A and B are shown apart, each in its own frame.
Chain A
């Protein structure tokens, strides 16, 4: 609503008139720092929520196929960019609760990122495989960068796209075993630094919160690939290699996800693939510190902002449970049953509460992190991702 005033208030007269009008309609001015977006995957809608008052502010519809949708925020935290599976980018105004703009940019997409200056949106695509850059205001296409081909000769599917400082982006190529760093300082002519041979079948990636490291999880081998972007000359090295150590790998019914919230304090907490374990590594040397046994295949392994505890949700058939790991003792201290098909978790900015989406119970569950008690449930249609606006100011989110 504040935006409405600014837009219409160009002339002083009109300005005061609209102020008067606005006062009659009494739109409450408000900030966006405690807002968030909840993906309602089946109905192509999002809810905008307030994480201070634990309420829903409304719903925005018409966003298309949102299975596996993800969100980044403009750096003023006014707008959410929603990347849908159907390749569309939708720009949602969190204050006016409207869809501002929507572009269909690929036929199969998996997510996106926003540049460090907030001016460029990058979309990572499966089909056609590659990265496309867009103007953050108009969503006009700036550049199209096809990925290196995989064995089938087609441009590889792109995973793990994350923003780095200096208007750069890092990502991995699932079909081409490669990590790339794109410099988009001139977004119409991006320059790509390639690191082939970066490990078998990277399925997702993350940038550390200082934007120095890019880490890709590997599906095809037990380990992760690490690029120190301060030392690209050293190339990609393998970390946590062989974490399964000869144990029979178990089937994976859902791929884990990686993002910067895996790193907190001195540690990185990462999902093992095919093993019911959370891997704990030193986040400078990247040496393995411990493995914490958990009850299923971890999907999201998220540290509370304090770094004191780590929350884990699981792949089918264990997706009705959530476990909480105490970092100092490296032990699971609680197993919660918040609802059916818990797909995602998101902490409030300083971690006093965590919001979970329960797809099959059509609800959001708000849990107080101190007591581990559910303090609120809100209805939602088949919710998946929950994204809070604090991400607007964080690298790699």
Chain B
């Protein structure tokens, strides 16, 4: 692990407590960008998954619903969509790191 990542990891550990370790807290976006992503998630993902992520046309994205699903594959669904279902690809609007952070944030219960 490079020193930079180590520092971020340590910071996340400090900030988020134990659960962050298991969720493997990915690097967080800049605060302004983070606000944009949270808004996008609640409003535009929420259009299908519900504002509180308890599901709608899209499946629930609550911590309970996601807990057994690997972060990598969830991030891949976000970026690439799931063909044959209404889940669209968000790659034009989110980077890979941002998608990973979104998964982390969803698994934390989408804190404000």
Contact = CB atoms under 8 A, between A and B. Distances in A.
Contacts of B47: 67-68, 253-255, 316
B81 A41 contact: no
Given A85-B56, A255-B86, A341-B43, A42 B51 contact: yes
Overall SS of chain A's interface: loop
A316 B46 CA distance: 12
A360 B48 CA distance: 18
B88 to A, nearest CB: 4
A85 B50 contact: yes
B38 interface: no
Interface residues of B, number: 18
Overall SS of chain B's interface: loop
A359 B43 contact: yes
B33 to A, nearest CB: 16
Contacts of B27: none
Contacts of B48: 254-255
A67 B51 contact: yes
Interface range on chain A (Cβ under 8 Å from partner): 20 to 34
B50 A67 contact: yes
Most chain B beta-carbon neighbours within 10 Å: one of A67, A86, A341: A67
Contacts of A67: 46-47, 50-52
Contacts of B43: 341, 359-360
A42 B46 CA distance: 11
B50 A108 contact: yes
B57 A251 contact: no
Given A85-B56, A108-B55, A126-B55, A252 B88 contact: yes
Contacts of B81: 251
B44 A65 contact: no
Contact of B56 (A41, A68, A219, A360): A68
B57 A157 contact: yes
The 5 A-B residue pairs with the shortest CB-CB distance, nearest first, are: A67-B51, A251-B88, A316-B44, A254-B47, A253-B88
27 contacts: A41-B51, A67-B46, A67-B50, A67-B51, A68-B47, A85-B50, A85-B51, A108-B50, A108-B54, A108-B55, A108-B56, A126-B55, A126-B57, A157-B57, A201-B86, A219-B86, A251-B88, A251-B89, A254-B47, A254-B48, A255-B47, A316-B44, A317-B93, A341-B43, A359-B43, A360-B39, A360-B43
